[in-house]
Amino acid sequence: MSEAEVKMVLPENAFEKLPEDEKNNEFIAMKSRSYFQDVWFQYKKNKLAMVSLVFIIIMILMAIFMPMFSRYSYEAQDLANPNALPSAAHWFGTDKFGRDIFIRIMYGARISLSVGFAAAAINLVIGIVWGGMCGYIGGRFDMILMRIVDIIYSVPTLLYVILIMLIFGSNMFSVLLAICISSWVGLARQVRAQVMSQKEQEYALAAKVLGASDMRILFRHLVKNSIGPIIVNTTLMVPSAIFTEAFLSFVGIGISIPMASWGTMANEAKNMLFSAPLQMVWPVSAICLTMLALNFIGDGLNQALDPKKRSR
């Protein structure tokens, strides 16, 4: 085709010059968000999870500050005023010894929440280190450590919980030990699976070629990239630890009286179930609401962290 022919097929005014400002095609308009900014952005969209988060934060603040400023204490008895119904003086009423139930619930929240979060934190650390090393090193080392995990997993939890309680006595430390000794294995398995799938990725190989130490590759690269499911799992561990503590206290091998735990309070209230049923309602609803809220938070995080589960 000659130039004249081209001009006939394509008249000169068929094309227009692109304005200068549209030529900048390398420009990225969207604001850059870090991983956690993005997660928070997604999390905020979930109303139920936001309400739950606010609930738990209020609960934590109340558990910390209420007992400081209250005129009642968890153990002070007022035998002249037992089994009182809720009133302005005693918001949730009093129990059979005349102790203020509201403040006891707050003390119970202290124990429950600290047991829950401490157990989750301990599990997180042990799970990441154990599972991370297994997944990263692999081979015989992995074989031996994972068989230990299997053994721990196969012993009934209640069995060594009772043994621990017998040996260390009924206190917060032994409750924590009893919860942690078995629940980290699930997390360790998960971390191991994540690390194993990540370590063959090219970015991990690239870090190795760059001369990064094994510790750096494992924690800076592999664990950092598997943090999503790990966080979800850890969040869901909090309610299960709270439940275990309440259960142990209820059957009488957890926190011992007169310390107030939601479990012990429910236990004490069960004798009064027919004469003062409200006394049972308070600790049980405290357990229920807390567990629900924490589960909703876990759910919300799960959605926010996993792009596949996001709703548009």
Interaction site with other proteins (CB under 8 A): 26, 28, 30, 32, 34-35, 201-203, 205-213, 216, 221, 224-225, 227
Distance of closest approach, residue 204 Cβ to other proteins, in angstroms: 8
- Specify the residue, 34 or 311, whose C-beta has the smaller distance to other proteins: 34
Distance of closest approach, residue 202 Cβ to other proteins, in angstroms: 4
- Specify the residue, 14 or 30, whose C-beta has the smaller distance to other proteins: 30
Distance of closest approach, residue 147 Cβ to other proteins, in angstroms: 14
- Specify the residue, 27 or 274, whose C-beta has the smaller distance to other proteins: 27
Contacts of 231 (CB under 8 A, 6+ apart): 301, 305
Distance of closest approach, residue 210 Cβ to other proteins, in angstroms: 4
Distance of closest approach, residue 220 Cβ to other proteins, in angstroms: 8
- Specify the residue, 64 or 215, whose C-beta has the smaller distance to other proteins: 215
- Specify the residue, 87 or 213, whose C-beta has the smaller distance to other proteins: 213
- Specify the residue, 97 or 219, whose C-beta has the smaller distance to other proteins: 219
Rg of the chain in Å (alpha carbons) = 28
Distance of closest approach, residue 92 Cβ to other proteins, in angstroms: 46
